[in-house]
Amino acid sequence: MIVDIENTTTSKVSKKLRKLREDGGVVALTRVLTLVILTSKDNAEPAIAAANRASREHPCRIIVLASGRAADETRLNAQIRVGGDAGASEVIVLEASGELTEQNEAMVSALLLPDAPIVAWWADELPENVSSTPIGKIAHRRITDSAMDPRPLEALQRISAHYAEGDTDLAWTRLTHWRIHLASILDTLDPADLTSVTVEAAADLPSAALLAAWLQQALQIPVSLVSTVAPAESELPLTLTAVTFHRAEGDVSLSRPRGEEIAELRSADGLVQGVPLPVRTLEVCLAEELRRLDSDEVFGEVLTRALPVTDLTGASPAA
pLDDT tens, position by position, 230-260: 544 445 567 899 999 999 999 999 999 776 8
Coil, helix or strand for 12? helix
Q: In what order do the strands lie in the sheet with 262-266?
A: 223-228, 194-202, 240-247, 252-255, 262-266, 272-276
pLDDT value of position 159: 96
Q: Is the pLDDT of residue 10 over 60?
A: yes
**Sequence-ordered strand ranges (E) for the chain:** 2-5, 33-40, 60-67, 75-81, 90-97, 118-122, 141-144, 167-169, 194-202, 223-228, 240-247, 252-255, 262-266, 272-276
User: Where does residue 115 fall: left (phi above 0), alpha (psi -120 to 50 degrees), or beta otherwise?
Assistant: left
pLDDT value of position 213: 97
Q: Which residue from 139, 116, 132 is spatially nearest to 37, judged by alpha carbons? A: 139
pLDDT value of position 319: 44
pLDDT in tens, 15-53: 888 887 777 655 545 678 999 999 988 899 999 999 999
Query: What pLDDT band is residue 316 in, cutting at 50, 70 and 90?
Result: low
Mean pLDDT of the chain: 88
Distance CA 172, CA 296 (A): 10
pLDDT in tens, 43-61: 999 999 999 999 888 888 9
Whole-prediction pTM value?
0.90
pLDDT in tens, 75-131: 889 999 887 666 667 899 998 888 777 777 888 888 998 889 999 999 988 999 999
